[in-house]
């Protein structure tokens, strides 16, 4: 098995220098206040194609033999590797075919086509697309580009680690998302080679924790995954090469819930004006749950991608707002008499809440003759504001129903 060393990453840096951006490192005051550390965001969501993946894809394609380039390239991807391969191949004048799972966000599918690739949709998860890509490869002779378990891909992603050390020399902790492990392998290899004292923490979605399972069981195996808004890291089997690197270099692996990921996306969008997809926001989700001791530490959280499907954005934001009690649904018992609804709405209006939905009914066995149930969804400032509204309604004599 090929090893990845610092020299490979430094070589990749030279290859990539005219092609990619050195993405900026931004201080996040909200997360710094929450954790007691100095939190910085490595904004790979602002990279070409909207994610870090172009680093590894371009480095891999440049290092193909001339015969391999002539045969064209094929890849499987949930979206970001697809775009990285498509743009890299187009820049280098090489034909590319990408197999994507049918659940891949439409925005990522459209972008991949626009970057010049032929797209094949197959299966419900990344691993299904991988199997189909290998099948097409055997039929066409195209060169398969693995999204994470490849020396040149890992080296390309590792250039992020070099940038972090240049941008924040006294960094103490780096949090990195994990799917198959390519970006974590690359960053950890670069940083541990130059500054081994830095603590490297990998973050997975709890619904697709293939690397954490591999480390715990002492070897790579296929796991059952659940649906996750972090679709870009929904991988059922970690890489063999990435497993060996992560086992050696990474200090800790943690998982985050769907609720924590949604809250991270909302925080980045609302407080930092950063659009992060689910996979890109997991490192911030790990900071939000405050289970890591980061007090006084200089911490970098890698935002690995920003290709968030706008059709999904409203649902994610809504879920996060509900989780924070900023969208709150309650049921109130009301006397079925003229003017009572206006009085109820007046109380809510005086409390500065916005009514998003309202439904009323008298067709329930639990209601007496002359009673109504009113169900309201309110938009509030925060949990405290929501509690004050409920308390005010009770003070005014309204019965809050279960």
Residue 172 sits in the same domain as residue 288: yes
For 136, phi and psi rounded to 5 degrees? -65, -40
Residue 75 sits in the same domain as residue 187: no
Q: Are 262 and 323 in contact (CB under 8 A)?
A: yes
Residue 302 sits in the same domain as residue 256: yes
Residue 202 sits in the same domain as residue 108: no
**Predicted pLDDT of residue 1:** 54
Residue 59 sits in the same domain as residue 103: yes
Domain that holds residue 334: 325-401
Residue 229 sits in the same domain as residue 365: no
Residue 310 sits in the same domain as residue 330: no
**Predicted pLDDT of residue 311:** 79
Supply the DSSP string of 335-370, one letter for each residue.
Answer: ESSTTHHHHHHHHHHHTT-EEEEEEEE---TTSPTT
**Predicted pLDDT of residue 314:** 85
User: pTM for this structure?
Assistant: 0.87
Written as six digits, the tokens of 40 are 């910085």
In a domain, 252, yes or no: yes
Active site residue 338: no
Of 111, 144, 177, which residue constitutes the final position of a domain?
A: 144
In a domain, 367, yes or no: yes
For 232, phi and psi rounded to 5 degrees? -70, -15
Please count the CA atoms within 13 angstroms of the CA of 80 that sit on its side-chain side: 34
3-state secondary structure 96-133: EEEEECCCCCHHHHHHHHHCCCEEEECCCCHHHHHHHH
The partner residues of 120 in beta bridges, in order of sequence, read 99
Please count the CA atoms within 13 angstroms of the CA of 268 that sit on its side-chain side: 35
Residue 343 sits in the same domain as residue 229: no
Please count the CA atoms within 13 angstroms of the CA of 383 that sit on its side-chain side: 3
Three-state DSSP at 292 gives coil
Written as six digits, the tokens of 175 are 């949090």
Q: Are 253 and 247 in contact (CB under 8 A)?
A: no
CATH of the domain at 214: 3.40.50.1100
In a domain, 1, yes or no: no
Catalytic residue among 42, 53, 108, 319: 53
Please identify every stretch of the chain with a pLDDT value under 70, giving residue numbers as ranges.
Answer: 1
Task: Give me the number of domains the chain comprises.
Answer: 3
In a domain, 159, yes or no: yes
Residue 170 sits in the same domain as residue 311: yes
Of 321, 346, 378, which residue constitutes the final position of a domain?
A: 321
**Predicted pLDDT of residue 73:** 97
Of 272, 305, 321, which residue constitutes the final position of a domain?
A: 321
Widest CA span in the chain: 83
Active site residue 199: no
Cα–Cα distance for residue pair 186/158, rounded to 1 Å: 4
Residue 58 sits in the same domain as residue 48: no
Three-state DSSP at 71 gives coil
Catalytic residue among 185, 188, 304, 319: 304
């Amino acid at each position: 098995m090929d090893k990845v060393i610092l020299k490979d990453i430094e070589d990749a840096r030279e290859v990539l220098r005219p092609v990619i951006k050195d993405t900026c490192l931004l201080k996040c005051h909200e997360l710094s206040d929450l954790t007691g550390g100095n939190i910085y965001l490595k904004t790979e969501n602002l990279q070409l194609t909207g994610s870090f993946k172009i680093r590894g894809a371009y480095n891999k394609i440049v290092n193909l033999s001339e015969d391999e380039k002539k045969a064209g390239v094929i890849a499987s991807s949930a979206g970001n590797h697809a775009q990285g391969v498509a743009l890299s191949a187009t820049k280098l004048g090489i034909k590319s075919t990408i197999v994507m799972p049918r659940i891949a966000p439409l925005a990522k599918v459209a972008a991949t086509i626009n970057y010049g690739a032929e797209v094949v949709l197959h299966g419900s998860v990344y691993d299904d697309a991988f199997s189909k890509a290998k099948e097409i490869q055997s039929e066409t002779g195209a060169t398969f580009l693995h999204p994470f378990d490849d020396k040149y891909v890992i080296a390309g992603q590792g250039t992020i680690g070099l940038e972090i050390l240049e941008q924040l020399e006294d960094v103490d902790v780096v949090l990195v998302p994990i799917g198959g492990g390519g970006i974590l392998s690359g960053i950890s290899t670069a940083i541990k080679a130059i500054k081994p004292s830095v603590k490297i923490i990998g973050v997975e979605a709890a619904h697709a924790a293939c690397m954490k399972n591999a480390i715990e069981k002492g070897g790579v195996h296929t796991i059952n995954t659940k649906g996750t808004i972090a679709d870009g890291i929904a991988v059922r089997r970690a890489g063999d090469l990435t497993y060996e690197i992560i086992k050696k270099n990474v200090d800790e692996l943690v998982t985050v819930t769907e609720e924590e990921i949604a809250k991270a996306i909302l925080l980045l969008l609302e407080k930092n004006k950063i659009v992060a997809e689910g996979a890109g926001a997991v490192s911030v989700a790990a900071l939000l749950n405050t289970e890591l001791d980061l007090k006084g530490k200089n911490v970098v959280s890698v935002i690995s991608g920003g290709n968030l499907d706008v059709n999904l954005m409203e649902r994610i934001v809504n879920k996060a707002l509900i989780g924070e009690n900023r969208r709150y649904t309650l049921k109130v018992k009301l006397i079925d008499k003229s003017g009572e609804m206006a009085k109820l709405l007046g109380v809510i209006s005086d409390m500065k809440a916005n009514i998003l939905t309202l439904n009323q009914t008298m067709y329930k066995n639990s209601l007496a003759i002359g009673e109504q149930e009113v169900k309201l969804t309110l938009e509030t400032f925060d949990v405290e504001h929501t509690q004050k509204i409920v308390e005010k309604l009770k003070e005014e004599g309204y019965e809050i129903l279960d």
